[in-house]
Copies of this chain bind each other. A is one copy, B any other.
């Protein structure tokens, strides 16, 4: 049997998981691995002969069929992948940032060279989502995605909720445990989730979403008081990546914290678990959940992609249409100010007398209906602590309400699912 020859770029956590797991498959051979430092001690036994510190020895090696890229980031990964495709190699990657920022160029290039780029591991780690969308769900028109795509922020929000702790304290703990990086920006400001929803929306809607059009808010301003208020009202706070598309190819794609009703399954996705809820026709609503990161779950997806190529590379002279990613159509982004949402507002008002009336009137004047309003005794008798949940209204309008409530302190403005 002719073996499928793999070149691996990157031997970190995921790369090591892939290496360990691929040893069980006798139709696949890892022939070369590019690492930063050949002499670094490693947790696995590996022949020095197959290590190189020059990735071009992989992407230019004519004996290699598939390049597996696991280093992340746009450059130098993009240069390696470009060369590899031009040299006739198929690509398996877990690089969500590259896909989000260079997806269009990447898939045009792979199409031109008749090669496939598979990336199950880039979105939601081990959860099977990309391949199902391309295959068994292919008969569906998917119109909405609501997902928890970042394990670090979900861990932080879960701990803030269960421990009643502040964002800062939980972040420190998460960093100590290795769940958050020293510079946590990519996770806590929503970049990571935004990369993923860019690509997930594109493949699900069959219409390209541009990363620069994805609205993004992180979790750093969530207060423990918001967690408490949300709980009392029957919600959890989660960092949600959403994408919707209408029949005229207008897309609304964003990452921001949301109050999620405890009746919704996403409210019960805790710690580092990820989940993707999708709505489409004819299928209706489905939810897929599982480990969003980690050595082995991510390796599962990388290996699934490699095996898909291994099954097909010799049976057809070109690989299957389902493995491709044609998105010549580009969706029209809707500005966040023109979207309709329910809102949660936490307000500290300077004087309790008449304040509810003022809030009510201001909202009514801007077409904002209130679903729920809760006033609590504050420690300081001269102020009132007020929590408001609105009905669905225009983002522009709620912003005008806030501008007009200039004698109040707006502690938080969050959207409600």
Name A118's closest neighbour in chain B (CB-CB): B136
- Shortest A260–chain B CB gap in Å is 13
Within 8 A of B (CB), among A134-169: 135-140
Say yes or no: is A348 at the interface (Cβ < 8 Å to chain B): no
- Shortest A237–chain B CB gap in Å is 18
- Shortest A309–chain B CB gap in Å is 11
Residues of chain B with a CB closer than 8 A to A307's CB: 135, 138-139
Say yes or no: is A283 at the interface (Cβ < 8 Å to chain B): yes
Question: Once bound together, how far apart are the Cα atoms of A353 and B302, in whole Å?
Answer: 63
Q: Is the CB of A286 within 8 A of B286?
A: no
Question: Once bound together, how far apart are the Cα atoms of A169 and B127, in whole Å?
Answer: 39
Query: Given that A126-B286, A282-B21 are known contacts, is A321 also in contact with B311, CB under 8 Å in the complex?
Result: yes
Q: Is the CB of B282 within 8 A of A17?
A: yes
Say yes or no: is A333 at the interface (Cβ < 8 Å to chain B): no
Say yes or no: is A285 at the interface (Cβ < 8 Å to chain B): yes
Say yes or no: is A387 at the interface (Cβ < 8 Å to chain B): no
* Contact pick for A300, options B135, B282, B300, CB 8 Å: B282
Residues of chain B with a CB closer than 8 A to A120's CB: 136
Question: Once bound together, how far apart are the Cα atoms of A96 and B128, in whole Å?
Answer: 23
Q: Is the CB of B300 within 8 A of A291?
A: no
Q: Is the CB of B300 within 8 A of A139?
A: yes
Name A275's closest neighbour in chain B (CB-CB): B287
Say yes or no: is A186 at the interface (Cβ < 8 Å to chain B): no
Say yes or no: is A281 at the interface (Cβ < 8 Å to chain B): yes
Residues of chain B with a CB closer than 8 A to A312's CB: 320
Classify chain A's interface size: 35 or more
Say yes or no: is A288 at the interface (Cβ < 8 Å to chain B): yes
Residues of chain B with a CB closer than 8 A to A316's CB: 315-316
Question: Once bound together, how far apart are the Cα atoms of A315 and B281, in whole Å?
Answer: 28
Question: Once bound together, how far apart are the Cα atoms of A286 and B286, in whole Å?
Answer: 14
Q: Is the CB of B303 within 8 A of A289?
A: no
Q: Is the CB of A296 within 8 A of B283?
A: yes
Query: Given that A128-B136, A300-B137, A320-B312 are known contacts, is A284 also in contact with B289, CB under 8 Å in the complex?
Result: no
- Shortest A295–chain B CB gap in Å is 8
Name A295's closest neighbour in chain B (CB-CB): B282
Say yes or no: is A402 at the interface (Cβ < 8 Å to chain B): no
Question: Once bound together, how far apart are the Cα atoms of A322 and B307, in whole Å?
Answer: 10
Query: Given that A284-B297, A290-B286 are known contacts, is A304 also in contact with B138, CB under 8 Å in the complex?
Result: yes
Query: Given that A25-B139, A135-B131, A137-B128 are known contacts, is A284 also in contact with B303, CB under 8 Å in the complex?
Result: no
Q: Is the CB of A289 within 8 A of B304?
A: no
* Contact pick for A136, options B131, B281, B296, B297, CB 8 Å: B131
Other A-B pairs beyond A283-B300, A315-B320, 14, CB < 8 Å? A21-B139, A128-B128, A131-B135, A132-B136, A135-B307, A139-B303, A139-B307, A268-B268, A282-B299, A284-B297, A286-B291, A287-B287, A315-B316, A316-B316
The 10 closest A-B pairs by CB, nearest first: A286-B290, A139-B303, A282-B296, A136-B304, A131-B136, A283-B300, A128-B132, A128-B136, A126-B283, A282-B300
Listed A/B pairs (30) with beta-carbon separation below 8 Å:
A120-B136, A126-B282, A126-B283, A126-B284, A126-B286, A127-B286, A128-B128, A130-B136, A131-B131, A131-B132, A131-B136, A136-B304, A138-B307, A139-B300, A139-B303, A139-B307, A265-B265, A265-B268, A268-B268, A280-B300, A281-B296, A282-B299, A284-B297, A286-B288, A286-B289, A288-B289, A311-B321, A312-B320, A315-B318, A315-B320
